[in-house]
Chains A and B, each alone.
Chain A
Amino acid sequence: MKQAILKALLSHYWRHPWQALFLLLGLTAGVGLWSAVQIINHHAEVSYAQADSLLGVQANYWIRNRSEQGIAQADYIELRRAGFRQIFPVIEGQVITPDGQLISIIATDLLALRQSMPEETVDQTFNGIDNWLQLVQKPYRAWVPQQLADEFALIQGDQLQLRDGRQLPPALIQAQTQQGRRIFMDISAAFTLFDTDQFNYITVGQLTTEQFDLLTSLLPDSLALVQNQQQLDLSELTQSLHTHLSAMSLLSFAVGLFIVFNAVRFSLWHRRETLMNLRLMGVSVKALISAILFETLIWSLIGTVSGVICGLTIGNWLLPGLSQSLFNLYGATIDAVIALQSETLLLAWGITLVGLLWALAWPMYLQLKHDVLDANSPTLRHQAENSSRQQLALFSLPLLIMAFILFQTMETAVAGFALLGLLLFAAAWLLPTLLALGLKFAQACVPKQRLIGRWMVSDGWSQMPAFRSAMMALLLAMTANLGVGTLVDSFRSAFIGWLEVRQNADIYVNSSQSNIVQLLESEQAPGKTSLWLADSHRQIGITTRWQDQPTLVNGADTRAPDSLRFPLAQWLGDTPDDALALWRDNSNYILANEQLHYLGGLKLGQTIQLDTDQGPVDYQVVGFFYDYGNPKFQFYLSYEEVAKRWKYHYSRGTALWLKPDSTSNGPSSRQQAEKSFLANGINRADWISQDEIRTLSVNIFERTFAITAAMNSLTLIVAAIALLASLLAIMQERLPEFAQWRALGVNTREQFLIICSPLLIFVVIAWLLAIPLGAVLSWLLIQKLNIVSFGWSMPMLWKMAPAWQLGGLVLVIVIVTLLLSLLQLRRRLPDALAELGELS
Chain B
Amino acid sequence: MLSIKNLYKSFGQPGGEVCVLDGLSFTMQAASSVALLGESGSGKSTLLHLIAGLDKSQSGDIEFSGKQLSTLNESALANMRRHQISLVFQQFHLISTLSVFDNIRFQAALCQRFDNAFETQLIDRLGLSSLLKKLPHQLSRGQQQRVAIARALLHKPKLVLADEPTGNLDEQSSLEVMAVFTDLVKSAGSSLLMVTHSKEMATFMQRSVLLHNGRLSDI
Point out the residues of chain A lying under 8 angstroms from B164, CB to CB.
Answer: 837
Asked if A165 is an interface residue, CB under 8 A from chain B, the answer is no
B98 contact from A455, A746, A839, A840, Cβ within 8 A: A455
Which of A379, A739, A747, A840 has a CB less than 8 Å from the CB of B75?
Answer: A747
CB-defined interface of A457-476 with B at 8 Å, one 1/0 digit per residue?
Answer: 01111100000000000000
Chain B residues in 8 Å Cβ range of A458: 97-98
Query: A838 vs B82: C-alpha distance in the bound complex, in angstroms?
Result: 21
**Complex interface residues of chain B between 11 and 49 (CB less than 8 A to chain A):** 45-46, 48-49
Instruction: Please tell me if the beta carbons of B49 and A462 are within 8 angstroms of each other in the complex.
Output: no
- A733 interfacial by beta-carbon distance below 8 Å: no
Q: At the interface, yes or no: A833 with Cβ under 8 Å from chain B? A: yes
Cβ contact within 8 Å between B52 and A743:
yes
Is A534 positioned at the interface, with any CB of B under 8 Å from its CB?
no
Identify the closest chain A residue to B111 (Cβ): A745
Instruction: Specify which chain A residues have a CB less than 8 angstroms from the CB of B55 in the assembled complex.
Output: 830, 833-834
Say yes or no for A744: interface residue by CB 8 A criterion: yes
- B95 contacts partner chain A, Cβ-Cβ < 8 Å: yes
Give the contacts of A793-840 with B (CB-CB under 8 A): 830, 833-834, 836-840
For B138, the chain A residues whose CB sits under 8 A away are 379
Q: Are B110 and A744 in contact (CB under 8 A)?
A: yes
**Given contact pairs A378-B137, A745-B82, A834 touches B105 in the complex (Cβ within 8 A):** no
A740 beta carbon closer than 8 Å to chain B: yes
Known pairs A452-B110, A741-B93. 16 more at Cβ < 8 A?
A: A382-B137, A451-B105, A455-B95, A455-B97, A455-B102, A458-B97, A740-B93, A743-B81, A744-B81, A745-B78, A745-B81, A746-B82, A833-B55, A834-B46, A837-B89, A837-B91
CB distance from A376 to the nearest CB of B (A): 12
A-B contact count (CB 8 A): 96
**CB–CB B78/A747 < 8 A:** yes
Asked, given contacts A455-B95, A462-B96, whether A745 binds B107 with beta carbons under 8 Å apart, the answer is yes
Interface residues on B, range: 35 or more
Is A744's CB under 8 angstroms from B107's CB? yes
**A449 smallest CB distance to B (angstroms):** 9
Please indicate the chain B residues that have their CB under 8 angstroms from the CB of A748 in the complex.
Answer: 74-75, 78
B150: interface (CB < 8 Å): no
Residues on A with C-beta less than 8 A from B86 are 744
A454 CA to B97 CA, complexed, in Å: 10
Task: Identify 19 residue pairs between A and B in the complex whose beta-carbon atoms are under 8 Å apart, listed by A's number.
Answer: A379-B137, A451-B98, A451-B106, A452-B109, A454-B102, A455-B97, A455-B106, A743-B54, A745-B78, A745-B80, A745-B82, A745-B110, A746-B78, A833-B49, A834-B54, A836-B49, A837-B91, A837-B164, A840-B91
B198 touches A (CB below 8 Å): no
Alpha-carbon separation in the docked complex, A111 to B14 (Å): 78
Which B residues lie within 8 Å of A736 (CB)? 91, 93
Q: Taking A455-B97, A736-B93, A747-B79 as contacts, is the C-beta distance between A834 and B106 under 8 angstroms?
A: no
In the complex the two chains form, what is the Cα distance from A840 to B89 in whole Å? Answer: 12
B54 touches A833 (CB 8 A): yes
Cα A474 to Cα B184 with chains together (Å): 50
User: Ordered nearest first, which 9 A-B pairs have the shortest CB separation?
Assistant: A745-B82, A740-B93, A458-B97, A451-B109, A745-B81, A837-B163, A833-B54, A378-B137, A837-B89
Taking CB atoms, residues of chain A closer than 8 Å to B54 are 739, 742-743, 833-834, 836
> Could you list which residues of chain A lie within 8 angstroms of chain B, going by C-beta atoms?
378-379, 382, 451-452, 454-455, 458-462, 736-737, 739-748, 830, 833-834, 836-840
Give Cα A451–Cα B104 distance, bound, in whole angstroms.
11
Q: Give Cα distance in the complex from A741 to B92, angstroms.
A: 11
Question: A835 to nearest B CB, angstroms?
Answer: 9
Complexed CA–CA distance, A834 and B164 (Å): 16
Are B45 and A838 touching (Cβ within 8 A)?
A: yes
Verify if B216 is at the interface (C-beta below 8 Å from A): no
Q: How many Å from the CB of B119 to the closest CB on chain A?
A: 13
| Complex alpha-carbon distance, A743 and B85, angstroms | 9
Chain A CB within 8 A of B90 CB: yes
Tell me if B87 counts as interface (CB < 8 A to partner A): yes
Q: Is B89 a contact partner of A836 (Cβ separation < 8 A)?
A: yes
How many angstroms between the C-alpha atoms of A461 and B95 in the bound complex?
Answer: 11
Please determine whether A459 and B137 come into contact, CB atoms closer than 8 angstroms. Answer: no
Contacts of B186 in A (CB 8 A): none
Which chain B residue shows the least CB distance to A754? Answer: B95
- List, in ascending order, chain B residues with CB within 8 A of A834's CB: 46, 49, 54-55
Question: When chains A and B are docked, how far (Å) is the Cα of A737 from the Cα of B98?
Answer: 14
**Cα–Cα, bound, A378→B91 (Å):** 14
A contact residues around B212 at 8 Å (CB): none
Instruction: Give, as a whole number of angstroms, the nearest-CB distance from B194 to chain A.
Output: 12
Question: 8 Å CB contacts to A: which residues of B49-65?
Answer: 49, 52, 54-55
Instruction: Indicate whether A462 sits within 8 Å of B97 (C-beta atoms), given known contacts A382-B137, A742-B78.
Output: yes
B83 within 8 A of partner (CB): yes
Residue of B nearest to A826 (CB): B74
Q: Which of B48, B78, B151 contacts A837 (CB 8 A)?
A: B48
Among B75, B86, B87, B110, the one with the most A-chain Cβ atoms within 10 Å of its Cβ is B110
State A282–B129 Cα separation when bound (angstroms).
43
Q: Write out the residue numbers on chain A whose beta carbons fall within 8 Å of the beta carbon of B45.
A: 837-838
Given the known A-B contacts A452-B110, A458-B97, A743-B52, are A836 and B137 also in contact in the complex, defined by CB atoms under 8 Å? no
Q: Are B106 and A839 in contact (CB under 8 A)?
A: no
Q: Shortest CB–CB separation between residue B67 and chain A, in angstroms?
A: 15
Cβ 8 A contact of A378, one of B74, B96, B98: B96
The complex places the Cα of A817 from the Cα of B62 at a distance, in Å, of 38
Residue pair A837, B90 in contact (C-beta under 8 Å): yes
User: Cβ of B82: which chain A residues have Cβ within 8 Å of it?
Assistant: 744-747
User: Chain A's nearest CB lies how many Å from the CB of B86?
Assistant: 8
How distant is the Cα of A736 from the Cα of B74 in the complex, in angstroms? 18
Interface hub of A454, A745, A747, A840 (most chain B Cβ within 10 A): A745
Min distance, Cβ B216 to any Cβ of chain A, angstroms: 19
Cβ contact within 8 Å between A745 and B93: no
Q: Which residues of B contact A745 (CB under 8 A)?
A: 78-83, 85, 107, 110-111
Are B87 and A744 interface neighbours, CB within 8 A?
Answer: yes
